[in-house]
Structure 1
Amino acid sequence: MEKKALKANIRTQMGKSTLSTLRKNGRVPGIFYSRVNEPIPIDVAEKAIKPFVFTAKTNLISLELDDNKNYECVIKDVQFDPVTESIVHFDLLGLIEGEKFQLEVPIQFQGTAVGIKEGGIVQQVLHKLEIECYPKDIPQFLTVDITNLKLGEAIHPTDLSFENISILTPAEAVIVTVVHPKIEKEPVPGEAAAEAPAEPEVIGKGKAAEEEEKD
């Protein structure tokens, strides 16, 4: 897989005020984690990190720090602002050749489900699968063939197999299913429909990131 460069500065100052200043200046704070190094606080240009976050593929990152050291890594976690949906923090995971590691990889579907011809609609439940593999076997995405998926059926992690990759997502999880389309109920005059507020997606930070936010 092709590696893409990402330039980052090592942060020497911590605390909420420092993080706030960085974000106002178009920088995004993050943490680089590695089994062989202590966590390294870093920051990158927001426009530089966006292509690695807003993508349907896994990207190998060649992290270029301002101390002239380079590391191969992938994005581990990302946190978004619940209102603006902008990136407010990210974690990178350093890779070591010859050692397995865990990460989430996007799913892409292949084919047209037979259940559609039966009057159903395809409902995607999971957009990523958690896997374990060696760095050399990292896929950009996992292809799931839904051609034979009938109305009322679902695909689970146990239905899939990929060479040199172990799937860690729980076996009972539903990845995709074909369901009957919902029939909209005619509203009763004078009856207000109560809608539950949508909860924003929040992806947790690593331990080092949580500690620096407390400062």
Structure 2
Amino acid sequence: MAEKSLIANKREISTKGAINQMRKAGIVPGVYYAKGQEPIAFSVSEIALKPLIYTAETHIINLVVDDKEPVKGVVKAVQFDPVTDRVVHFDIQGVTMGESIGLQVPILIVGTAPGVKEGGLFQQYLHKLDVECLPRFIPENLEINISGLNLGDSIHVRDLSFENITIVNSEDTAVVAVETIRGGDIEEESDSEEITEPEVIGKGKSEEED
């Protein structure tokens, strides 16, 4: 998978007011953490960060803090401003090449569902999957082919399998479906099936906002 470099400056834990001033200046605070290491508080340019956050791909990040040797990691959690949708804080989790890591990987839908051509409505309930794998097997995205979905069909986590990757989501979680529209209403799946809302990336280790 692709690797991206991110240049950062080490920062001291500061007051909420100082952090807000930093954000107004286009600087985003972050934390790097890895097993057996002290967390590193850093800050980066919002412009440099955007390609790593607003993307449909997963990357291994080579984080360079104060011109020191780069450390490898993946974006683990991001906090967004609820009004502007700008990133206000993010975490990078360090990776060890021989140890499994848990992360979210974007879903890439491929193909066209026949059920849509028949008047059905395509619904995507998950846009990312929670997975565990070795760093060398981290994919940029996970493809799901919907070419076999007819009216009323769905794909659940239990229907998915990817080489060298373990999916952590509940196997009963619906990922995509083609729903039948009757009289202007959508005929949704049975209540017995678990359907999740589109996921929100979890809050991270925003230590300065405690």
Per the normalisation by structure 2, the TM-score is 0.88
2-structure distance, mates of 1:204, 1:77 = 5
Q: Tell me if structure 2 keeps the 8 A contact 1:74–1:94.
A: yes
Question: 1:169 maps to which residue?
Answer: 169
Question: 1:189 maps to which residue?
Answer: none
2-structure distance, mates of 1:86, 1:183 = 40
1-structure distance, mates of 2:129, 2:200 = 17
Distance 1:184 1:96, change over 3 A: same
2-structure distance, mates of 1:203, 1:150 = 31
1-structure distance, mates of 2:3, 2:177 = 34
What displacement does 1:184 show? 4.8
What displacement does 1:157 show? 0.9
Q: Tell me if structure 1 keeps the 8 A contact 2:2–2:140.
A: no
Q: Tell me if structure 2 keeps the 8 A contact 1:79–1:202.
A: no
- Matched residue SS, 1:84: coil
- Encode CA deviations 1:146-197: one digit per residue, 9 max, x unaligned: 1111111110111011110001011111100001237559xxxxxxxxxxxx
1-structure distance, mates of 2:14, 2:54 = 27
- Matched residue SS, 2:38: strand
Question: 2:115 maps to which residue?
Answer: 115
2-structure distance, mates of 1:47, 1:93 = 21
Matched, 1:84 2:80: no
What displacement does 1:20 show? 1.1
What displacement does 1:109 show? 1.1
Question: 1:213 maps to which residue?
Answer: 209
Q: Tell me if structure 2 keeps the 8 A contact 1:33–1:94.
A: yes
2-structure distance, mates of 1:2, 1:204 = 24
2-structure distance, mates of 1:55, 1:202 = 15
- Matched residue SS, 1:52: helix
- Matched residue SS, 2:49: helix
What displacement does 1:28 show? 0.3
Comparing 176-185 with 112-121, greater Cα deviation is found at 176-185
Matched, 1:132 2:135: no
Q: Tell me if structure 1 keeps the 8 A contact 2:110–2:143.
A: yes
Question: 1:104 maps to which residue?
Answer: 104
Unaligned runs of 5+ in 1: 186-200
Per the normalisation by structure 1, the TM-score is 0.86
What RMSD in Å do the two structures reach over aligned CA positions?
1.8
* Number of equivalent positions: 198
Unaligned runs of 5+ in 2: 186-198
1:128-167 equivalence runs, <5 A:
128-167=128-167
4+ runs deviating over 4 angstroms: 182-185
